[in-house]
Structure 1
Amino acid sequence: MKFGVIVFPGSNCDQDVYHALGNVLGQPVDYLWHGDTSVSGYDCLVLPGGFSYGDYLRAGAIARFAPIMPAVIEFARAGGLVLGICNGFQILLEAGLLPGAMRVNDCLQFRCQWTYLRVENSKTPFTNRFREGQVIRIPIAHGEGNYYADAATLAELEANRQIVFRYCNEYGEVTPAANPNGSVGNIAGIINREGNVLGMMPHPERCAESILGGTDGRELFASIIDWWQGRERLGA
């Protein structure tokens, strides 16, 4: 399985993702520059965290117009796997590949800390190694992670099981105290209706090795690989 990690001016987690995929999980992986116009030959694209284009206007707003994005959108609409992490999630929202919007954290502070997440949907290419309701521990680092969607959009997300992760406490309880940024419904990650595009604010690449304090993030990347290998065995 071949991964492409898209690098925008201001990306700062691209090397972490590359290391997790290439060195920890042993997968072929390349960097793709924001100025590229093709993503041909890749099985999964990752938009990493950082501050693309300095987060001018708002996070992800300028990156959405990068030369590579039409190819990313076409890839996603054709069923290709796309993972947006933190700033990558913000870019996917701005590009219309995921519904909703991102606001400044309600505390008006940048939050860099470990968080607990409850897995709401384990039947996705990104979460098949987890159990539904499982509590995992993945760190965050963002100033604009306050996910928002209107009532109609939230109802659709719930009905279609598109909410993949929610912030919770260590016991799996979804409470206001467990919400680090004010995100509506404690939402930490969502998937598109087709199930091939995931956006999440927490950073799985920062907990892919025990030396980093946890390995729950590794299981997310391994889920992608398992899903792909299963698909290949079936000749899909």
Structure 2
Amino acid sequence: MKMLIVYIAFLLFGLYELFASFNHQLFEANLLMISNLVVIICLIFARFNVHKAEQGSLMKVHMDIEDIHQVTLERIAYNAATYIQIALSLSFTATLVGFLLLRDTQPVIVLWSGILLLISFVSLFPSEKIVSITNPNFKFPDPQSKNYEQEYFNQFDDGEKYVMLKGLYGLYSLVTLCLVLLAFALMFYSIFTDNSQLVSIIGIGILLLLIQVRYTSSLKPSKLE
């Protein structure tokens, strides 16, 4: 709850700064400030959902609606995770763009983007209460373990693994399609503007290569011993 209050204070301060300097700074600076405010709003929604899920986990409900209550708490917890992911992506983009465009003229705004990026990244790691809601039997494996990823994955039951794999396959297909479309878009952009995007296109090609090879290799059966 304390973090929620801190985020709200950040939001109010950011709104004050935006309205006070809106007409006296570059359009890019205003856009970056708005992006930072959106990140803070996402963090507020995330923290609110976390608090709501934690409070809901303390409630005692009738056995007849226990499953419904558990699913509701899980949905709330995953809503919080979604807001955090949005905040992380926006703050990451804002930090990079701000550093390129505003590091000399508006370094404070860029610094705020970096701070929000750090906060969003730290927020990715769920509390024990949230983990107990989404997966009551989950136990984090030893970080020093050589098989950490496998041990982590084995914490989930078959149903959860199916949902995860289905989501990851959909993500794999979406990312591949988007990268291909982006490469074509950059090609046409280079043609019509005479502003070469060759390095970006090559980078996308390398990324596609790594994704495809990694995915195909993961499907290859292991050697029999």
Quickly name the TM-score band, shorter chain normalised: under 0.3
- Higher RCO, 1 or 2 (CA under 8 Å, sep at least 6)? 1
- Structure number, greater radius of gyration: 2
| TM-score, normalised by the number of residues in structure 2 | 0.24
| Larger fraction in strand | 1
